[in-house]
Chains A and B, each alone.
Chain A
Amino acid sequence: MIKKFDKKDEESGSGSNPFQHLEKSAVLQEARIFNETPINPRRCLHILTKIIYLLNQGEHFGTTEATEAFFAMTRLFQSNDQTLRRMCYLTIKEMANISEDVIIVTSSLTKDMTGKEDVYRGPAIRALCRITDVRGMLVCQLHYYDVVKRWVNEAQEAASSDNIMVQYHALGLLYHLRKNDRLAVSKMLNKFTKSGLKSPFAYCMLIRIASKLLEETEGGHDSPLFDFIESCLRNKNEMVVYEAASAIVHMPTCSARELAPAVSVLQLFCSSPKAALRYAAVRTLNKVAMKHPSAVTACNLDLENLITDSNRSIATLAITTLLKTGSESSVDRLMKQISSFVSEISDEFKVVVVQAISSLCQKYPRKHSVMMNFLSNMLRDDGGFEYKRAIVDCIIGIIEENPESKETGLAHLCEFIEDCEHTVLATKILHLLGKEGPRTPAPSKYIRFIFNRVVLESEAVRAAAVSALAKFGAQNDDLLPSVLVLMQRCMMDSDDEVRDRATFYMNVLQQKQKALNAAYIFNGLSVSVPGLEKSLHQYTLDPSERPFDMKSVPLATTPISEQKSDMAPIATSKMPEKMAPSRQDIYQEQLAAILEFQGLGPLFKSSEAVQLTEAETEYVVRCVKHTFAQHMVFQFDCTNTLNDQLLQKVVVQMEPSESYEVLHYIPAANLPYSQPGSCYSLVRLPEEDPTAVSCTFSCTMRYLVRDCDPNTGDPDDDGYDDEYVLEDLEVTVADHIQKVLKPNFGAAWEEVGDEFEKEETFALASVRTLDEAVGNIVSFLGMQPCERSDKVPENKNSHVLFLAGVFRGGHDLLVRARLALSDGVTMQVTVRGADETPVDVILASVG
């Protein structure tokens, strides 16, 4: 038994802590006894414990005092007391990054590391590691690198070891050493999946490595790796079974049938007495429900039982899963159950609930009033930014999907911004009010909410409110006088930005011209902001007589509306969101670095990558098409998958079908095994016939092959020329048009005017539904659908599609397509543009 506690201590209550009032200086003072002879292990031990305790509490040790204590401590290596020695190692680890000269203990540690005493070896190595980690001692590092290399064999043996942890670590290490070599990883997997392992940890590791490899090789479900993962569902250990089920569920291309075995083990776990297992199971089922709700319906009964689970996280996950899999009739009941405990759960799970509601709204649009009610109540509760943002996003989503809920939704949001501490959300809502408010039956009621912001809020919110106000004035003639009065007041604001905006809008509004309103109030700039910054900077460096041309600025690539796929609790990133350069900005930089491409002007558009080879071939080639004002650059990203070949001087030769002219080939100098490289072709677009926008190129890859030793990678001295035929590459009308979103299409339509308007009617005989027709037109023209006109309402026989874009050279282009469904689909296309050529191009290519 542990020694009975002293009475005195008992009196001071159970709250006593022997370390409570430790003074760093006093402890360091005490550390002097380290120098006494003979060493008193117990007292020294206690002092070391105190030092570690202080460090752990976050006490700061200065470099000098830490180094002094450290030096004194080294003397303790003379003692043979085991626990004391172990505590010395720990102290070394803890102090490694504050004390100087920790290197002096290296020799002591090395001695223990290679010594006979088993108890010392492990901890000594770990301590030594920490020192070298921090100090980056080159000699040591190199030494270890050698050791690591030599350990491949030892690790191989260790992986078959009887000690289950050794097996696990060995596997992790082997994978780490080989992870860049897919073939070696594959061999290793093959070996261990056959021989079997003892450690459940090692099994989990193996499953992870197998799923990673399956993902990378896009292996199908007929792969032996998949069989292995599936076989782990029958492992004795729950940890392994769960790991396997989770791996299967996360595979991107799993059908409901392949999921079934994984789902049924998760179903069993739902009734486990272990909370962690129930949690893991229901969290994973929740993920399944997002993609394959039908696969989870079998578990509905088990999930119902979890609704009353004392662990609220489990209960929430169960309900949100049920919301995804259940029928429309159960929605009201489940919503009631959630509201009974929504205040008890953490913000993370509230976000999960909101996301579940959001997907439910998409599934059962008729339920939107119940949801809206629930969401507005949640919006009034306390909660952090992420939570509020999820609610606001969800309400905005409902408004966009269901026009009849627009006014209720806007009213809730107006109420929310009356007392909203999050600038980002307030500005977002003001922007939405500006966009949607003027087009509602009673726009005047929003003005009060917006103007309140001008009076009460911070600069950013005030500026957003001014922009929103301007939109009301531009859209509604009867509101214009009042808006102008309010604008006048904003011109007296203390902030520059707010004042500037007010003055600008005031002047635009006073002109009372629809075209000006459209260009400067409704639809704003469509250029990329980093691009504009760069162009302006360039212009100031090299000033000229000519005015700055907005058309020379690259356009903003419309963000692809991201799928909200991951609705399970996701890690909230702690990094502030940076303005990441777009994909096109990156291409622009890369291309500008190549001498031959200078003078082509700004990059207009980069296409998605097109595969020019089958997936499992010797060489993998993808092509990205870059469009410039008068030229196109084809970027071929090539990968050599043969480990016994080095390719050199790789070019892709192109034979155009039309009068396109290939000007330059820029080869990839070297293409070693598995390291991707790029070669380029520069093509001039035909000048004499600007409507010739489409062309087919037959492509052949030509290169010099040098055979090499697959193990060392050393190539032979001589090589031979060879070629490889690729698939044909198409350039279509979509490559010449950049998507641009016009938030107010009607205004933009008026702005462009009918100077170059053309109209034609087509019959799309092979198309059966309006949805299909819309999809075809959008992907064919590569233009941006506006006003959500790409969504065809159900049970309608006619539809109007609005498309906006900019044609190569910077000309605005708008398309209105009226579609009518009869036998096939009849389509009347009206095109307006700032120039005649693009209008002709569109009609010619549709026909």
Chain B
Amino acid sequence: MLSVSLDQARYGCNLVAHGVFQEPSLYTVKALFILDNDGNRLLSKYYDPELYPSMKEQNNFEKNVFNKTHKADNEIAFLEGMTVVYKSSIDLFFYVVGSPQENELMLMSVLNCLFDSLTQILRKNVERRYLLENMEGVFLVVDEIIDGGVILESDPQQVLQKVNYKLVSEQAYGFVLFDYITGSLEGEAERGQLL
């Protein structure tokens, strides 16, 4: 129920913080993105409208981050004035970006939650092609973990429960995708009636 007011609260949040300490705020995550092993964007979300507002800036940032991180799995880096925590799996790279003042462990908890939730949804096959096959599940998971930069959930079990991504539809969806790729949509329609 609280999310409405959180968005309302944003109007007051852009005030310049005075003094050493930032104005305490729920807006923790600046950006989140998933790249493949060529550095191409599969999913990305920018939560702070002032951080890289244009697609070009976002792509440059992602390229830069990817170049600096894909060789060694170092978990954390400081790039372009932002704290970046990351994790890779086979041919996927997951990134969570926060301000340099942000508690690095909070960002890690978001990254871990994202990774663990996807691991479960993808049945441990955290790989590019399985991720792409289940893209709507991925979108929903991200939506449950962060909204507008606020951490909504950090427990993967809770995320899965809320997303309620059903095994049945998931399997069937695999067929849909297959049908889409091979172009046999009629076949799919028949199967849809059977189910």
B29 on the A face (CB < 8 A): no
* A contact face: mostly helix, strand, loop, or mixed: helix
Question: Given A169-B26, A280-B105 in contact, is the A17-B132 Cβ separation under 8 Å?
Answer: yes
CB distance A172 to B24 under 8 Å?
Answer: yes
CB distance A130 to B7 under 8 Å?
Answer: yes
CB distance B164 to A165 under 8 Å?
Answer: no
A9 on the B face (CB < 8 A): yes
Q: Can you spell out 11 A-B residue pairs with CB atoms less than 8 angstroms apart? A: A17-B128, A18-B177, A18-B180, A45-B173, A125-B1, A129-B4, A173-B5, A212-B21, A239-B109, A280-B105, A313-B74
Chain B minimum-CB-distance residue to A199: B154
Residue from the list B58, B100, B176 in contact with A42, Cβ < 8 A: B176
Output the least CB separation between A516 and chain B (Å).
46
Residue from the list B76, B135, B154 in contact with A275, Cβ < 8 A: B76
Chain A residues proximal to chain B, CB less than 8 Å: 1-3, 5-6, 8-9, 14, 16-19, 40-43, 45-46, 48-49, 52-53, 56-58, 81-83, 86-87, 90, 93, 119, 121-123, 125-126, 128-130, 133, 141, 144-145, 147-148, 151, 154-155, 158, 164-166, 168-170, 172-173, 175-176, 179, 201, 204-205, 208-209, 211-212, 215-216, 238-239, 242-243, 246-247, 250-252, 274-277, 279-280, 310-313, 346, 348-349, 569-572
Residue from the list B76, B80, B150, B176 in contact with A311, Cβ < 8 A: B76
For the complex of A and B, 3 pairs with smallest distance between CB atoms: A571-B81, A275-B75, A172-B26
Q: Among the interface residues A58, A147, A166, which one has the most CB atoms of the partner chain B within 10 A?
A: A58
CB neighbours (8 Å) of B158 from chain A are: 165
* B contact face: mostly helix, strand, loop, or mixed: helix
CB neighbours (8 Å) of B99 from chain A are: 571
Complex CA gap A251/B174 in Å reads 55
Given contacts A46-B177, A252-B20, 19 further A-B contacts (CB under 8 A): A2-B174, A8-B181, A18-B177, A18-B181, A52-B139, A56-B41, A56-B43, A57-B41, A86-B140, A129-B8, A173-B5, A208-B21, A215-B19, A276-B75, A276-B107, A311-B77, A313-B77, A569-B100, A570-B81
CB distance A126 to B3 under 8 Å?
Answer: yes
Question: Given A5-B129, A18-B133 in contact, is the A87-B24 Cβ separation under 8 Å?
Answer: no
Residue from the list A5, A151, A212 in contact with B24, Cβ < 8 A: A212
Q: Among the interface residues B12, B26, B80, B181, which one has the most CB atoms of the partner chain A within 10 A?
A: B26
CB neighbours (8 Å) of A572 from chain B are: 80-81
Question: Given A1-B123, A144-B5 in contact, is the A123-B23 Cβ separation under 8 Å?
Answer: no
B146-195 interface (Cβ within 8 A of A): 147, 150-155, 158, 162-166, 169-178, 180-182, 185, 188-189, 192
Chain B residues proximal to chain A, CB less than 8 Å: 1-10, 12-13, 19-26, 41, 43-44, 55, 58-59, 68, 72, 74-82, 85, 91, 99-100, 103-109, 122-123, 125, 128-130, 132-133, 135-136, 139-140, 143-144, 147, 150-155, 158, 162-166, 169-178, 180-182, 185, 188-189, 192
CB distance A56 to B44 under 8 Å?
Answer: yes
Instruction: Give the number of residue pairs across the A-B interface with Cβ within 8 Å.
Output: 252
Output the least CB separation between B172 and chain A (Å).
6
CB neighbours (8 Å) of B76 from chain A are: 275-276, 279, 311, 313
Chain A minimum-CB-distance residue to B176: A42
CB distance A83 to B192 under 8 Å?
Answer: no
CB distance B151 to A43 under 8 Å?
Answer: no
Output the least CB separation between A332 and chain B (Å).
27
Complex CA gap A46/B5 in Å reads 32
CB neighbours (8 Å) of B155 from chain A are: 164-165
CB distance A14 to B135 under 8 Å?
Answer: no
CB distance B143 to A90 under 8 Å?
Answer: yes
Q: Among the interface residues B9, B59, B122, B170, which one has the most CB atoms of the partner chain A within 10 A?
A: B9
CB neighbours (8 Å) of B105 from chain A are: 238-239, 242, 276-277, 280
CB neighbours (8 Å) of A247 from chain B are: 21
CB distance A349 to B21 under 8 Å?
Answer: no
Residue from the list B24, B144, B147 in contact with A209, Cβ < 8 A: B24
Question: Given A14-B129, A83-B136, A313-B77 in contact, is the A173-B6 Cβ separation under 8 Å?
Answer: yes
CB distance B78 to A123 under 8 Å?
Answer: no
CB distance A205 to B24 under 8 Å?
Answer: yes
Question: Given A144-B8, A145-B8 in contact, is the A201-B151 Cβ separation under 8 Å?
Answer: yes
Output the least CB separation between B63 and chain A (Å).
14
CB distance B140 to A90 under 8 Å?
Answer: yes
Residue from the list A6, A87, A201, A212 in contact with B136, Cβ < 8 A: A87
CB distance A49 to B139 under 8 Å?
Answer: yes
Output the least CB separation between A110 and chain B (Å).
11
CB neighbours (8 Å) of B106 from chain A are: 201, 204, 239
Complex CA gap A211/B158 in Å reads 31
CB distance A129 to B7 under 8 Å?
Answer: yes
Question: Given A169-B150, A215-B20, A348-B79 in contact, is the A148-B176 Cβ separation under 8 Å?
Answer: no
Q: Among the interface residues B130, B132, B139, B162, which one has the most CB atoms of the partner chain A within 10 A?
A: B139
CB neighbours (8 Å) of A145 from chain B are: 8
CB neighbours (8 Å) of B125 from chain A are: 2
Chain A minimum-CB-distance residue to B193: A40
Output the least CB separation between A706 and chain B (Å).
29
Output the least CB separation between A339 and chain B (Å).
20
